[in-house]
Amino acid sequence: MDIFDEIDDLAIEEEALLNEYMNRLERKERTVRSRPDHFNMWNSKDFHRRFRLMKESVQDLLSVIEDKIKHKTQRNQCIPPMLQLLITLRFYATGSFYITVGDFGGIHSSTICCIIKKVTEAIASLRPMFITLPRSDEDIRKSQEEFYKIARFPRVISAIDGTHIRVQSPGGNTAEEFRNRKGFFSFNVQAMCSAELIFQDIVARYYCSLCHITQPGKKKNEDEPPEDPEVDVPPQPIFPPSIANPTSAERLQTRNIMLSYFQSLINT
């Protein structure tokens, strides 16, 4: 056997190894699963049970965000805006896994993740259009009149309250900052609404009720402003004990003053 025969044998072996490697990593054939038309296949009652919105509300929402979520072309079996919105609403309604929502819409779970993120950002961008406090004098007066009809309480323009939205532990060194005074992880959400129960303001940027309290030996939040050495913070309560702990007579006097004040507003 000469040198040329050895070279041929090596070339054949290398070609066989290359073919084996290429065949093992051969890409799967692309398949496009059938995508059901959930908007038309369900009646109004069943549609609301699955998506928590009526068909009319979904159409109104789609008309506002369609330009933000639709694809530029129709190539590669792109997902229509209506199906993107319904998939996101289904995820909101069930809170299930991406693969479960994907089976519901006939779409892969990785695509579901991108769709939910895109549609959620499109919906959140509508906040300045729909979630606003009354600004003009006419809107403020109208809001005061609506609240007065409910409980005869004057000069109220909005009702405010807060709640803890339970979340999973984010992990890491700052996970305990999300634990609230009730013992579970949450975001502290504050909301304001009108007399018609329409949201007027939402604050959901704080992660627990104790997030602004610096515990001993714990690093302060970087978002907090630095301490001003020129500001003298009193170590004792600002109010004297006589004001901080009023007597029964003082409470009664304050109550009578407030009643007379509200009675004068009602009479005027």
pLDDT value of position 144: 92
Nearest CA to 90 among 37, 45, 42, 53? 53
Closest CA to 122 of 60, 65, 62, 58: 65
Looking at the DSSP assignment, which residues form a beta bridge with residue 193?
159, 199
191 CB-near residues (< 8 Å, 6+ apart): 160, 161, 162, 163, 199, 201, 202, 203
Q: How much is the pLDDT for 230? A: 44
Which H/E stretch holds residue 34? none
DSSP class of residue 158 equals -
The Cα 154–Cα 159 span in angstroms is 13
Residue 249, pLDDT > 80, answer no
Please give the pLDDT value at position 72: 87
CA distance 168 to 207: 12
pLDDT digits (tens, 9 = 90+) for 147-187: 999 988 888 999 999 999 888 888 888 888 888 888 899 98
In sequence order, which ranges of 126-183 are alpha helices (DSSP H)?
127-130, 137-151
Distance CA 154, CA 145 (A): 8
CA distance 78 to 20: 35
Average pLDDT over the chain, rounded to whole?
A: 80
Residue 45: CB atoms within 10 Å? 9
Banded pLDDT at 268 (limits 50, 70, 90): low
Average pLDDT of the segment spanning 104-111: 90
Residue 254 clears pLDDT 90, i.e. is over it: no
Q: Is the pLDDT of residue 201 over 90?
A: yes
Measured over the CA atoms of residue 71, residue 97, residue 88 and residue 159, the dihedral's sign is negative
Q: Which of 89-93, 150-154, 173-177, 253-257 has the lowest mean pLDDT?
A: 253-257
Strands lying side by side in the sheet with 186-193: 159-166, 186-193, 199-206
* Side-chain half-sphere CA neighbours of 140 within 13 A: 4
- Tell me which amino acid residue 207 is: Y
| pLDDT (0 to 100) of residue 260 | 72
Closest CA to 206 of 228, 218, 225, 224: 224
pLDDT value at 14 more than 80: no
Provide, rounded to the nearest whole percent, the portion of the chain with pLDDT above 70.
Answer: 69
Enclosing H/E stretch for 216: none
Q: Which two tokens stand for residue 161?
A: 């309250």
Residue spans of the domains in the chain: they are 1-130, 131-214
Does residue 24 carry a pLDDT above 60?
Answer: no
More confident residue, 21 or 86: 86
* pLDDT reading at 4 higher than 90: no
pLDDT at 8: 61
Reported pTM:
0.64
- How confident is the model at residue 53, as a pLDDT? 95
200: amino acid identity, one letter: Q
pLDDT of residue 88: 96
- Give the orientation angle of helix 98-105 with respect to helix 109-124, to 10 degrees: 90
Condensed to tens digits (0 to 9), the pLDDT of residues 213-230 reads: 444 444 445 455 455 454
